[in-house]
Amino acid sequence: MSPEPSDDSSPLGRRAFLGFVRVGLSSLAWGGAAMDLVAQSTRLVPESLRAVLPFGKGWRIYAVNPPHPTFDPATWRLRIEGLVERPQTLTYAQLRALPRARQTSDFVCVTGWSVDDVRWEGVRFDDLLAAVRPLPRARALRFVSAEEPYEDSLTLAQAREPDALLAYAMDGGPLERKHGAPARVVMPRMYGYKGVKWVSKIVVTDRVEDGYWQQRGYDRDAWIGGSNGR
Amino acid sequence: MAVDPRVLFHEPRVLRFGVTERRLHTVHAAAFGLLLATGFMLYLPFVAQIVSDRPLMKAIHLATAALWLTALLLVVVLGDRAALRGTRREIERLDADDLLFLRRRTRAAGRFNGGQKAHAIVQGGLGVLLTVSGALLWLGERDTALRLPGTIALHDAATLLLAALVAGHVWMVTSRPASLEGIWRGTVPASYAAEHHEKWRPASAAEPATAAGRPAGVGASRIVLAALVTAAGLAAAALLVADVVG
């Protein structure tokens, strides 16, 4: 069929194939650093174009059980229970009446994108837990989302970090539905999957339990730059 | 798209692709289509926000990958292996004309021109790289020690390159209807072969030489092996789906 010589032991095409595969496999070592460089450069890309890029800056909304839970201020309740002296059920108005904390922090997703300087408003966990009074053996908080079966936990020490909060407002307005309305966990120094959205219940426990993504292999202590192989 | 008149008029045909080659192509076309579709639904932010049933997309993606590899094995087990070896040999051997083609588009090509050979070589490499990085992504979900620094970057970059090549491949075929007939029925008009593949000495489509899907004697051992491969592939796909959805 083909007039080309057929006794060449290492033809050009085969060498090209093997070289290509070899370089590709070597990127398993250096590809992460290269991708970070490219992600940095997306700061120069206009906002409207960033939505088509899978990395870089700007929100991407992930859901595990669509559609997003709905929020009705009249019927919404936040239940706080578990190892506490006085379990409590807060209305939206009661949540908003608690001491208000404000902060500006970055949001980093484990899949590679991030959002700089998000303005959050909400409640520090010490203020939230003051009324329920955790028992001495309480060690962790389990956040249960209205988007079942999503949940995740923080140790009490992590929840008491000065920049952790239960947020109900973002960038000057009430938390939007896609961002977890009416309340979500914000833990800026950990990857975003620790920030449970649509929080409907907080259970005070004596140990950290594996959340949705931990059951799927992600790290429990999701420190940015110090977990999940990054 | 202008229809090439030679496709319509009854002109002598020559055989460009045997049945095994066409099966191999069908397997890749179906798998790449599904993998790219589900992959982009998971990957591109503006689509991922609309198609939010990520577990379903992921289950289809992983099952397709498992069935793709299974089908490749089946083609090798049941198909005309001598024909596949011959095809590989043709593609690997880039001659001086092929290298010129890649630079200046001369037309002295064999059954495959330089561009087609380079395309096949890169796609083959991407298939390997995507399989390895995809397996590492899956393993990394189970054990963070297996999460290598470049796994995501490799899977992403290889996907984008593969999508670009597939798009180019589809665009090329729509501009040359005769080549579509080649992969669909195996034959191309003799004048098309003479014009685009001068150095190729094709067999007439009338000769049944390599047209048979499998060589006459597919032995019992091959059938058993194919059954085992099928069972293993279906089991792997089912386990992956159960793992993601269940």
Assign B204 a pLDDT band (cuts: 50, 70, 90). confident
pLDDT of res. B228: 96
- Give the DSSP H or E segment for A190: none
The answer to whether position B228 is within a domain reads yes
Assign A3 a pLDDT band (cuts: 50, 70, 90). very low
The answer to whether position B25 is within a domain reads yes
To the nearest 10 degrees (0 to 180), the angle between helices A12-41 and B114-142 is 60
Query: Where on the phi/psi map is residue A117: left (φ > 0), alpha (ψ -120 to 50), or beta?
Result: left
* Residue A55, pLDDT above cutoff 70: no
Number of domains in chain B: 1
The answer to whether position B146 is within a domain reads yes
Rounded mean pLDDT, A33-59: 67
State chain A's mean pLDDT as an integer.
87
The answer to whether position B4 is within a domain reads no
B43 touches chain A (CB under 8 A): yes
pLDDT of res. B219: 85
SS3 readout for A80-115: EEECECCCEEEEHHHHHHCCCEEEEEEEECCCCEEE
- Report the residue of chain A nearest B44, measured CA to CA: A54
The answer to whether position B5 is within a domain reads no
Give pLDDT tens digits for B123-173.
999 999 999 999 999 998 777 778 788 888 899 899 999 999 999 999 998
A93 touches chain B (CB under 8 A): no
What is the model's pTM?
0.69
Domain interval for residue B48: 15-245
* Residue B242, pLDDT above cutoff 80: yes
Q: Which of B91, B144, B150 sits opposite A32 (nearest CB)?
A: B150
A 100-139 residues with CB < 8 A to B? 111-113
* Residue B21, pLDDT above cutoff 60: yes
Give pLDDT tens digits for A124-166.
999 999 999 999 999 999 999 999 999 999 999 999 999 999 9
ipTM: 0.85
Tell me the shortest Cα–Cα distance from B176 to chain A, in angstroms. Answer: 23
CATH number of residue B80's parent domain: 1.20.950.20
> Residue B7 is encoded by which pair of tokens?
């496709």
pLDDT of res. B145: 78
